Structure formats: C-alpha cells, structure tokens
C-alpha cells in the first residue's frame, strides 16, 4: 500500500453533451512541472508498512542489541513503570520495545526538525522568488538526476519551488503517522518499531533534500562544484576590530538578509558576520566572505569572549541559555524562528528604528523578529551602534584572575566537576596546578572539552571552570585560523560515471562519510585524523556539518590543512564537503545515482531494489563520531534503510540500541546469486549496520572492514583487504581473526601478504566461495522457478 494521494486517470474517449474529447488524461493533486517518462516503480510514496519486508530482511541479519538508558517508562499516567529485566509495564510494553519506541520518537523529532526547517525555507523562498522559480542544483555541470532521494521515495522529480510543497505534504503526513504509532497502546513489537525507525530516516532524507535543493537553487549556493571556495574558520579569523554579528543555528534566511543588507548599505567591509553550526556553513555557501567560528560546541566560549556585538539565532542546536549567557556580555539576542522564541517580545511589526534603539540602549535583552529582512537591518544597525559602547566586553578571565579563582577551588574529595563532565576531564588536578600559577593543565583540557558548561553547574564553589579553560587557552584560540571548503552541494553525474564502476567493483576501496555533531570523546582532531587517513588511502571521504568543520580545524604533522591537501571532487583521495546537515542526502544521493547511472536501475518509486543494490555493492560507511542530536539519529536511520552501515563514537552508545551482525553465525550471511538463484555465502559484508566504537583506532579498522561488499571483484576485495589488514596490524598489532570469512578466492588475497594469509586460512579450514551477483530479493533472480526459495 502506498499513500499517494493524487488521482490519475486516462480516458480514450469522453463524450458528453458539451463536447467529445479524445485521449483525455487528468491528474488531480499532481502538480509537478514536467512529465517524466520513467514508469513508476512498485513503491512511490511508501506509507509506514510499505517497505516493511525489506526492513525485516535487514533486521533479521542486524538484530537490535538494546542498551536501555533508563529502566523505567514515564510516558503515561499509569507509570512510572519499572521495566527491569523482563518486567512489563502497565500497558504491556517490555524494556526492549520501550527502547525501540524511544528510538522512533527520537527519529521522529529529527525528521520533523529537518522537515519543519524545509517547510519554512520553501515558504520563505516561494514568497521571495515565486512558486515557479526553478530547481537547479547543478544543471550547467550536468546534474541531470536532481533530487535522487525524492525520485526514489516520492516518485516525482520536482522542477520548481512550488513542486517541493507537494513533496513536503507527503513527508509531513508520514511523520505524523509515525509519531502516532508511539502512543500508549499502539505499536507493541520492537522489530516493527525498528522498521518504523527506518521509515522515519528515509522520510527525513527526503525532507533534507528538499531543504537543500531549495536553498541551493534560490540562493545560488555552489552547484555541485568540486572547487567551491576555501573559506575561513576558527575563532582566530574573526576581525575583532569590527562590529561582529554572530549567527547560530541551521536555517539561513536571516543570515542571508544580514549579508544582503550589509551589501546594500555599503558595509560589507565594516561588519563581520560569523557563525556557529550549520547556519554558518550555509552563510559561507551564500557569500564566502562570511566566516565560521566553529562547531556547535564553540557557543559558550565565543559568546563569553564578548567578540559578538549581536547574536542572531534561527533554529536547532542553539544553547537554550543563550539569552542568559549573552546578557553577561551585554550582547543582545535576536530570535527569528517560531520554533525558538526564547520568551522574547515579538517585534516583527515594530519599526526597525525602535527595535535598534531599544537594543542599543539596553532597554531589551533581545527581540523576536520573524521577518528575515527586518532581522538583517536590525542586526547590522545594532552591531554598528553597539560595538563602540560594548568595547567587546567579555567574561573570559585573564590569567591573573584564573590563578586567583583556582585558589578558591576546594579540591573536593569526590570531584563534582569531573563527575559532571561528559568526558570525565581531570578538572580538579588542573585547578590545583592553576592555583600554583601554571595554566597548562587547564589549557590541556581545551581539545576534549565539548563546551557544555556542566562542570560549572556542578562546582560546589560556583567557579566558572569552562571560562578558565578558555582563558588558559588564549594563545591557542588566537591561532585558530583555518580553512574549510565551502559546501559544494550535489555530486555531478559525470563524477558518478567516473567512479561508479571502481566503487561497485571495489577498486576505490570505499566511501567514508564523516558527518554529525561534535560530542567527541577526545576532541575534533580525531575526526580530521580519520579523514586524513582514508583520503591518503584513496578512499572517497565525504563530510558535512560540524564534522566538516572539525576536519578543517586541524593541521597534519606537516602543518597542512586537509582541504588544501586533498581536492574537493568525488573521486579517490578527495575530501568532499557537501555542506550543512541538510546536505547529507547528497551523500545518500551519490550512492543512489551509482545504481541509476552506472547500473541503469530505475529510480522512480523503486526503493527496495535500489537499497538492495547499494547494500550489496556500494562500499559506503557513515561515521558520526560526535553524534548528539535526534537529527543525527534520523540521519543515521536514513542510511540504515539503504543498507549503509553507520559507526558512532562511544557517546553514541547512548542512542539506546545498536544493530549488530554476528559474523560467527554463518547462516546470516547468505545472498541470492541473481544469475542462478543459488544461495551463496558471502561472509559478514558488511558486518554491522549501527555500531558504537570505543576508540578512533577501532573506528578506522571497522570502517575499512565495513566497506567490503559481496559484489567486490577479486581485485577490489584485494585492495579492501589490504587496507583492512594494514590498519588492523598497525593499531591492533595482530592479524585480523576473520580473514577466512572475508576471502572468497585466492585471487582476493593481497599479493604482498599472500603467504601469511594463506597460512591463517589453512588453519581455519578455509574453502573458497563463488562471487555472486548478489541480492537479498528473490524477485530479482533472473532464472525462474525451481531454484528460488524464500529467505
């Protein structure tokens, strides 16, 4: 069943009293601009259970391992219910089902956030540019397959901004239905919840694609440009002599209007616009002169530095105490989104002069303004007038104050500061050292500090610990001057033509997608090290959002910035920044386009077949090393349904469940050979679908392994095995123990390691296997009855 709401009918002849018409075709509810010859596949506009069978295939192999984050459920008034170890709640739910329900809730929040963002953007852009404004995300460079995710899921190809509204109607409906299934007394099976989690992720991919297509097209962001400009990133790149406007969030229209107002007023050289989180990435896509301060975790440090004269927040990933923090540095806050009003007075209809006067004179801590154009004017004029008064008033202490403050540290026996810190940083020791006049200990905490401020809330003496860490790291912060390639958007069809074959055959060893937020266990440098390692090995590294920033805010051992060393093309050895969070579907889209362009599979409403293709052939792995949000959860689940594995960092174990394969269960690793219908053992490829790694070393070894696919040619598998063995030996100092499961024929063996590996295989009693034309879908087997049986 699908949820397509449009009605389409065709009559060869219509005869009425008024007229006689031949070949009448009527579409109700279908307003897409251009006819599309490709026939519909089996599942356009899938509803909640349309792709359930596909999900169940994946979930049979990658079973959920639940890691309950709370033993009770408190979602209804019959509770709280203790669900410990086999107990059921008043509604009948057990702990595992409750976890899967919470995962679905998280993914619904994530999907709704992106879709809500997309809806706002599309409405705003239609108002500004018109409903017929064309979707163009790279036509001039041959991006013929625009909107691959939308085509695959929704079954239409949007051509104008107006077309996107219809796509959003569909995804909004799906999120509502999904959310409904989390109600008390609704879905009662954990695997069915998991299937719905996949649905939420897939729907989210459509919503994000809509948002990015709309902004790329209307604002003229780089269009599938591998040479998108290098832009500046880091606290050290901000010109503090100028008035500074700080933008935070994800939804770029207010930032665009600020930049435009500055241009119109001739102030482009007089005011700095700098941003935190994805809105800053998108601001630099609009105008490369905008600057990026850093990822989500840079908020407290930058606000407290007093550098910003005005703060403009839009939506998502904004500290909810931004108003309290900004008040301390006398920086007014302009809120711009209905989803995030911060308790401010709505000044949308007030004259700009009045609002500016109130903010400059300190009569209001901030203002709520829903009109992005007015935000542009108010922010710029306020910054200009306020900067000379504020004199960059900051609350980050000087070295002398830090030493004095650290002297007040009680050296608490049970270290509430350290125990509040997500990364368990040794704050007490650093304070003791600081009290002696040595700030090095505090400065050493800088890299792994995620800027949450929890230590301060916990400190028995109310010491501003985070500010001390920042103050002690002043020199390092001044030197935070880096480059990042601006988000390029989609991958060109011609790039896919060039690399599709080598990826599917395995000769490009894999696509590593470093995405997600900045809750890193040991700092952002780890993300950059992972990116550098795989780019050096000539994988294709793609990235977006805060991870893309962390890759930029790093210099390798030769002092080089990775974006300056590695090109931005979707090719072996490239580091490809697609853009902000909502640009992630370009990465999924690249995999989808490989199936379409290289393998000539049909896209339109043909999800299951394309996912089967990607799962068995495209060696892509997502790494969300610092995933924090519900959005990151839904982004990951969009990849799961396509059969693409995702690795998270150790904090990701708090997502409540993993999807783990069992390489020791041989029966789990059979596929159909589409040529013969035989079931063929292909080994644990890929071994897991969702997996939290303890260390970056483990993540790298696992990522190399997860790039293997049943379809790899011997040459491709040889290359992939060589990387896997090399990384394993380097970090683990031993040979892998599962080579007998990954080698299919002797031709798979890396030549230089052949003797060594053959000895291991002999000990394990290894026997070779055929390399199939792999599929999990019996209907794709070419031969007819006889050899087919259900899995």
Partner 1 sequence: MSNEPWQMGEIAGPKKALIITKPSVVVGMVKKAKRALMVVGHEISKYDLGEESAIDYMIRIAETFKIPIVATAHTVSEFVKRSCYPIWWMSALDIANRLQDPEWEGLDGKGQYDLALFIGIPYYMEWTILSGLKHSAPNLKTISLDRYYQPHATWSFPNIKIDEWFTHMKEILGQIVEK
454 or 788: CB nearest ligand SF4: 454
Is the separation of the CB atoms in 331 and 417 below 8 Å?
A: no
User: Quick check: helix, strand or coil at residue 10?
Assistant: strand
Is the separation of the CB atoms in 368 and 345 below 8 Å?
A: yes
3-state secondary structure 483-518: EEECCCCCCCHHHHHHHHHHHHHCCCCCEEEECCCE
CB of 555 to ligand SF4, least distance (A): 23
Q: Could you tell me which of 423, 412, 476 has the C-alpha nearest to residue 452?
A: 423
In this chain, which stretch among 146-154, 537-545, 670-678, 730-738 interacts with partner 1, using CB under 8 A? 730-738
In this chain, which stretch among 219-227, 232-240, 344-352, 696-704 interacts with partner 1, using CB under 8 A? 696-704
Q: Within 734-753, which residues bind partner 1 (CB under 8 A)?
A: 734, 737
Q: Within 699-718, which residues bind partner 1 (CB under 8 A)?
A: 701-702
> Which residue among 237, 267, 399, 660 contacts partner 1 (CB under 8 A)?
660
**C-alpha distance from residue 341 to each of 319, 368, 555, 683 (Å):** 13, 6, 39, 52
Beta strand 670-673 pairing with 646-648: unpaired
**C-alpha distance from residue 680 to each of 361, 667, 705, 776 (Å):** 75, 10, 20, 11
Chosen from partner 1, ligand SF4, none, partner binding at 642 (C-beta under 5 to 8 Å by type): none
69 or 393: CB nearest partner 1: 69
> Which residue among 452, 508, 527, 578 contacts ligand SF4 (CB under 6 A)?
452
Sort 618 into a burial class: Cβ within 10 Å, 0-12 / 13-18 / 19+: buried
In this chain, which stretch among 10-18, 21-29, 444-452, 587-595 interacts with ligand SF4, using CB under 6 A? 444-452
The whole-angstrom distance between residue 308's C-alpha and the CA centroid of its chain comes to 27
Q: Does 288 bind partner 1 (CB under 8 A)?
A: no
Q: Within 406-425, which residues bind ligand SF4 (CB under 6 A)?
A: 409-412, 415-417, 420-423, 425
Q: Does 521 bind partner 1 (CB under 8 A)?
A: yes
Q: Does 450 bind ligand SF4 (CB under 6 A)?
A: yes
Chosen from ligand SF4, partner 1, none, partner binding at 461 (C-beta under 5 to 8 Å by type): ligand SF4
> Which residue among 651, 717, 720, 723 contacts partner 1 (CB under 8 A)?
651
CB of 651 to partner 1, least distance (A): 7
Q: Does 411 bind partner 1 (CB under 8 A)?
A: no
> Which residue among 424, 461, 745, 752 contacts partner 1 (CB under 8 A)?
424
Residues in the interface with partner 1 (CB under 8 A) total 46
Q: Could you tell me which of 634, 348, 406 has the C-alpha nearest to residue 517?
A: 634
Is the separation of the CB atoms in 602 and 522 below 8 Å?
A: no
Residues in the interface with ligand SF4 (CB under 6 A) total 29
Q: Is the dihedral of CA 149, 152, 153, 155 positive or negative?
A: positive
CB of 325 to ligand SF4, least distance (A): 13
At residue 295, φ and ψ (nearest 5 deg) are -75, 180
Q: Could you tell me which of 576, 491, 494, 582 has the C-alpha nearest to residue 164?
A: 582
**CB atoms near residue 765 (< 10 Å):** 7
| Rounded Cα distance, 578 and 789, in Å | 42
Q: Does 318 bind ligand SF4 (CB under 6 A)?
A: no
Beta strand 63-66 pairing with 657-660: antiparallel
CA angle 156, 160, 162 (to 5 degrees): 90
CB of 695 to partner 1, least distance (A): 4
Q: Does 414 bind partner 1 (CB under 8 A)?
A: yes
Q: Does 71 bind partner 1 (CB under 8 A)?
A: yes
Chosen from partner 1, ligand SF4, none, partner binding at 410 (C-beta under 5 to 8 Å by type): ligand SF4
For 510, left (φ over 0), alpha (ψ -120 to 50), or beta?
left
Find the helix or strand (DSSP H, E) in which 294 lies.
strand 291-294
Chosen from ligand SF4, partner 1, none, partner binding at 745 (C-beta under 5 to 8 Å by type): none
> Which residue among 451, 532, 649, 750 contacts ligand SF4 (CB under 6 A)?
451
In this chain, which stretch among 305-313, 454-462, 564-572, 740-748 interacts with ligand SF4, using CB under 6 A? 454-462
- Site residues, partner 1 (CB under 8 A): 65-72, 82-86, 95-96, 414, 416, 419-420, 422, 424, 458, 521, 650-651, 653-654, 656, 658, 660, 662, 664, 691-695, 697-698, 701-702, 731-734, 737
- Site residues, ligand SF4 (CB under 6 A): 409-412, 415-417, 420-423, 425, 427-428, 431, 445, 449-455, 459-461, 463, 465-466
């Amino acid at each position: 069943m699908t949820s397509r709401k449009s009605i389409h009918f065709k009559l060869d002849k219509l005869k009425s009293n008024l007229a006689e018409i031949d070949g009448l075709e009527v579409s109700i509810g279908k307003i897409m601009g251009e006819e599309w010859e490709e026939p519909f596949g089996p599942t356009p506009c899938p509803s909640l259970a349309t792709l359930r069978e596909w999900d169940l295939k994946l979930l049979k192999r990658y079973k959920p391992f639940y890691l309950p984050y709370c033993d009770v459920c408190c979602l209804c008034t019959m509770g709280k219910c203790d669900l410990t170890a086999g107990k059921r709640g008043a509604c009948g739910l057990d702990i595992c089902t409750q976890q899967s329900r919470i995962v679905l809730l998280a993914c619904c929040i994530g999907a709704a956030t992106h879709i809500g963002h997309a809806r706002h953007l599309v409405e705003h852009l239609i108002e500004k540019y018109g409903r017929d404004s064309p979707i163009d995300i790279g036509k001039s460079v041959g991006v013929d397959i625009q909107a691959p995710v939308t085509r695959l899921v929704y079954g239409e190809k949007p051509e104008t901004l107006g077309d996107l509204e219809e796509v959003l109607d569909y995804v909004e409906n799906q999120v509502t239905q999904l959310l409904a299934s989390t109600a008390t007394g609704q879905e009662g099976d954990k695997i069915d919840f998991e299937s719905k989690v996949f649905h939420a992720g897939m729907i989210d991919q459509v919503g994000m694609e809509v948002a990015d297509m709309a902004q790329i097209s209307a604002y003229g962001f780089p269009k599938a440009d591998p040479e998108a400009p290098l832009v500046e990133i880091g606290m050290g790149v901000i010109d503090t002599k100028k008035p500074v406007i700080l933008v935070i969030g994800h939804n770029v229209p207010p930032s665009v209007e600020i930049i435009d107002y500055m241009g119109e007023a001739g102030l482009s050289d007089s005011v700095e616009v700098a941003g935190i989180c994805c809105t800053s990435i998108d601001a630099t896509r609009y105008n490369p002169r905008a600057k990026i301060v850093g990822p989500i975790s840079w908020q407290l440090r930058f606000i407290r530095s007093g550098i910003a004269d005005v703060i403009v927040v839009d939506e998502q990933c904004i500290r909810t105490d931004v108003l309290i923090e900004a008040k301390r540095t006398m920086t007014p806050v302009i809120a711009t989104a209905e989803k995030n009003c911060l308790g401010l007075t709505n000044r949308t209809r007030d004259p700009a002069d009045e609002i500016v006067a109130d903010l400059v004179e300190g009569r209001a801590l901030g203002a709520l303004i829903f009109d992005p154009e007015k935000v542009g004017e108010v922010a710029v004029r306020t910054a200009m007038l306020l900067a000379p008064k504020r004199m960059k008033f900051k609350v980050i202490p000087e070295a002398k104050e830090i030493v004095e403050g650290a002297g007040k540290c009680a050296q608490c026996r049970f270290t509430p500061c350290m125990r509040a810190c997500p990364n368990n940083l040794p704050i007490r020791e650093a304070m003791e050292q600081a009290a002696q006049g040595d700030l090095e200990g505090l400065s050493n905490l800088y890299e792994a500090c995620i800027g949450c401020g929890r230590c301060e809330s916990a400190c028995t003496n109310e010491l501003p610990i985070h500010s001390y860490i920042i103050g002690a790291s002043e020199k390092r912060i001044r030197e935070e001057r880096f480059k990042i390639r601006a988000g390029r958007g989609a991958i060109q069809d011609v790039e896919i033509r060039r690399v599709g074959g080598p990826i599917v055959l395995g000769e490009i060893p894999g696509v590593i997608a470093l995405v997600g937020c900045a809750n890193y266990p040991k700092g952002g440098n780890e993300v950059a090290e992972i990116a550098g390692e795989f780019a050096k090995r000539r994988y294709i590294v793609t990235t977006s959002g805060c991870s893309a920033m962390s890759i930029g805010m790093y210099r390798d051992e030769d002092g080089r910035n990775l974006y300056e060393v590695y090109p931005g093309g979707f090719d072996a050895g490239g580091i490809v920044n697609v853009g902000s969070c909502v640009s992630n579907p370009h990465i999924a889209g690249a995999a989808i386009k490989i199936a379409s362009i290289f393998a000539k599979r049909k896209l339109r409403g043909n999800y299951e077949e394309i996912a089967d293709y990607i799962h068995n052939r495209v060696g892509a792995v997502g790494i969300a090393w610092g995933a924090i949000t519900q959005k990151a959860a839904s982004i990951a689940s969009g990849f799961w349904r396509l059969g693409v594995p995702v690795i998270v960092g150790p904090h990701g174990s708090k997502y409540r469940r993993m999807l783990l394969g069992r390489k020791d269960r041989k029966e789990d690793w059979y596929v159909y050979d589409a040529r013969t219908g035989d079931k063929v053992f292909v080994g644990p490829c890929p071994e897991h679908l969702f997996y939290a790694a303890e260390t970056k070393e483990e993540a790298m070894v696992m990522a190399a392994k997860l790039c293997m696919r049943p379809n790899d040619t011997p040459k491709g598998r040889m290359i992939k095995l060589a990387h896997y063995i090399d990384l394993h030996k380097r970090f683990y100092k031993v040979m892998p123990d599962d080579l007998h499961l990954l080698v299919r024929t002797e031709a798979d063996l890396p030549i230089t390691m052949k003797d060594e590996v053959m000895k291991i295989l002999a000990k394990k009693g290894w026997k070779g296997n055929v390399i199939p034309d792999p599929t999990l879908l019996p209907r794709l087997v070419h031969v007819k009855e006889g050899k087919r049986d259900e899995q």
